[in-house]
Amino acid sequence: MALDIRQLEYNEISEELAKINAPKFRAKQIYEWLWQKSARSFDEMSNLPKEFREQLKAQFDFCTVIESISQTSKDGTVKIGMQLKDNRLIEGVMIPDQNRATACVSSQVGCSLSCTFCATGFLKRERNLEVGEIYDQVILLNKYAKLNNGKGLTNIVYMGMGEPLLNYDNVMRSIKMITSPEGLHMAQKRITVSTSGISRGIIRLADENMNFNLALSLHAATDQKRDEIMDINRSNNLDSLVEALNYFYSKTGNKVTFEYILFDNFNDSIKDAEDLIVLYQRVPAFINIIEYNNVEGVTLKKAKADKRDAFVNHLRKRGITVAVRRSRGKDIDAACGQLANKNDAGITAKV
């Protein structure tokens, strides 16, 4: 099978072109088409001679993600299903706001972590996404941001299907190409990577001085409760995560965001709020309280409004700044925790 050209770094493209005696400057032209101009085929590379483009087609694969279906929520959120080169499917979401348009992108086909509250967790992890497959999601979702919001994406969150830190190299390279002047040139501060808690990955981020935003899918502030809903906590417990997050802060100066979904009669009591405060005091952090989106087959349910308000008010009375994130796109299964390759008829696609 031919090499996928977007898997190659610039110097690797240069080396491959040297094998076919192509001029050195062609590598720079091709690289600009791939990442800066977001070309989706060799035919789009109009400043390359046609004969040379045919030579490239014979030498390399150009595996782009194809949009297979789109759905628009009542609140303007757009979910798109995307087909990969091996016919597997992933989903991404564009979330519009008054002054923002956020892309929620996937990093894996399925997920291996099996968090009990997440629809994606019911899917077997088929494989990691390649850098071009992550990048293409941004390009396709940017199209909808321009169409529906009048301007392009302002933010990108790696909160879709899969665990980003278990596809570390491809995720980091996709961020490089999104933020680089050689790519889309978006500021790193506009990007958030959300992890379920991979301590070694967080430490690696710190050592490589990544400057984007880091979010931890926390959802319970004690090991006992977190073990019940997130198997990853058994190998990456809260003490190890606290150590890793403090190391990340010492290296980058960036506070982490604790994402905390409130579940009815599980983690929504005042005692649970106190446990969260104790953990918050151990790590420089922000707190986002997230509304749960009920998932078919899951016993955990959305916390009641009065319990949510009491929980949030207790944190605020203790001087903690808390953001409450409302659900977006839940009528099309596009909200947090709902991505499971369902079409508009509610049928789960095969992955």
* Type and span of the H or E element at 219: none
Q: Is 50 helix (H, G, I), strand (E, B) or coil?
A: helix
Q: Is 344 contained in some domain?
A: no
Is 336 in the active site? yes
* pLDDT for the residue 296: 78
- Say how many domains are in the chain: 2
* pLDDT for the residue 166: 96
Is 91 in the active site? yes
63, 111, 118, 336: which is the annotated catalytic residue? 336
Q: Is 200 contained in some domain?
A: yes
Q: Give average pLDDT by consecutive 10-residue segment, the chain, 351 residues.
A: 88 94 95 96 96 95 92 88 94 91 94 84 84 97 89 94 96 96 94 97 94 96 97 96 98 96 96 98 96 85 95 97 78 51 39 27
Q: Is 127 helix (H, G, I), strand (E, B) or coil?
A: strand
The Cα–Cα gap between 79 and 100 comes to: 17
* pLDDT for the residue 105: 96
16, 63, 91, 259: which is the annotated catalytic residue? 91
Q: Check whether residue 93 and residue 27 sit in a common domain.
A: no
Q: Of the residues 20, 35, 61, which one is the last residue of a structural domain?
A: 61
Domain that holds residue 324: 66-332
User: For position 10, which CATH number holds?
Assistant: 1.10.150.530
Q: Check whether residue 297 and residue 195 sit in a common domain.
A: yes
* pLDDT for the residue 112: 84
Tell the burial category of 181 from Cβ atoms under 10 Å away from its Cβ (0-12, 13-18, 19+): exposed
For the stretch 207-244, what's the b/e string if a residue is b when 16 or more beta carbons lie within 10 angstroms of its beta carbon?
eeebbbbbbbbbbbbbeebbeebbbbbeebebebbeeb
Q: Check whether residue 24 and residue 167 sit in a common domain.
A: no
